Homo-oligomer: A and B are copies of this chain.
Amino acid sequence: MKKKISIYDIAREMNVSSATVSYVLNGKAAEKRISKTLEQRIMAYAREVDYRPNMIAKSLRTGKTRTIGMLVEDVADPFFGNAARIMEGIARQLGYQLLFASTDNNPAVARGLLDVFRGAQADGYIIAPPPGLEQDVQALQEDGLPVVLFDRYFVGIPTTNVVADNFGGAYKATRHLQHNGHRRIALVTAESGQVQMGDRLRGYIQAMEEEDLPILTFNASTFPGIKSAIS
């Protein structure tokens, strides 16, 4: 159980002040015009004793945690799992740590999670919002916290979102089938009331209407086995 070493320990050992050590360790040696020799000595010693800064203390002082809270519907879902994993890698490269949590698409759960993240002083938020989270997202923004929505968004409330082109995708897919000579084309979807689903439906409908074809939709949620068609 090697004892934690702090910048004071190394300052004492080097006969300098903690400030000097802090400067050197943060690459501000040049800026603060600290002698090259001193800098070398400190760096060498820090490496020797395997100094690791206490991020907690740093965060308390700077007010930044380099932490991003990420809310998805379910981390175990392949779509969100992959998204989480990829974003995690990118974040880490940029020196950020992602905090994940699953909302179950439940706004109450999501609210609780946001509270946890706020308690942890997350610097920013990446959210795949469940329906009903409008207020909370707005509250975050009003408090000056960076928020980006993904996979879904709220119509009417101004946010930065990254979403697939659901409308265009459904439209193109439908057109493609039409070009291949198909006439009876159905859309299997979920009636979740979520905006991304609605966008797909609209894309499909628009393509069908342009060709004056009948609209056919399967509701995957009410017919899990996909046994019958509605409308």
Interface set of A (CB-CB < 8 Å, partner B) = 1-2, 52-57, 59-60, 65, 74-78, 81-82, 84-85, 88-89, 92, 97-102, 115-116, 118-121, 142-144
Contacts and interface: CB of A to CB of B under 8 A. Distances in A.
B102 A99 contact: no
A101 B85 CA distance: 8
Contacts of A82: 76
18 contacts: A52-B115, A52-B118, A52-B119, A55-B121, A56-B60, A56-B121, A57-B60, A60-B60, A74-B85, A75-B81, A76-B78, A76-B82, A85-B102, A88-B100, A92-B116, A97-B116, A97-B120, A98-B100
Contacts of A97: 99, 116, 120
Contacts of A118: 52
**Max chain B Cβ within 10 angstroms of own Cβ: one of A55, A57, A92:** A55
Q: Quickly give the copy total for this chain.
A: 2
B65 A88 contact: no
A147 to B, nearest CB: 14
Contacts of A2: 142-143
Given A2-B143, A97-B116, 18 more contacts: A1-B143, A53-B119, A55-B120, A55-B121, A56-B56, A56-B65, A56-B121, A76-B84, A76-B85, A78-B81, A84-B100, A89-B102, A92-B101, A92-B116, A97-B99, A97-B120, A98-B100, A99-B99
B60 A88 contact: no
A55 B180 CA distance: 60
B54 A121 contact: yes
A88 B116 contact: no
A142 to B, nearest CB: 6
Nearest to A115: B52
A47 to B, nearest CB: 14
Contacts of A100: 75, 84, 88, 98, 100
Contact of A81 (B54, B76, B88, B101): B76
B75 A78 contact: no
A89 B78 CA distance: 18
A101 B88 contact: yes
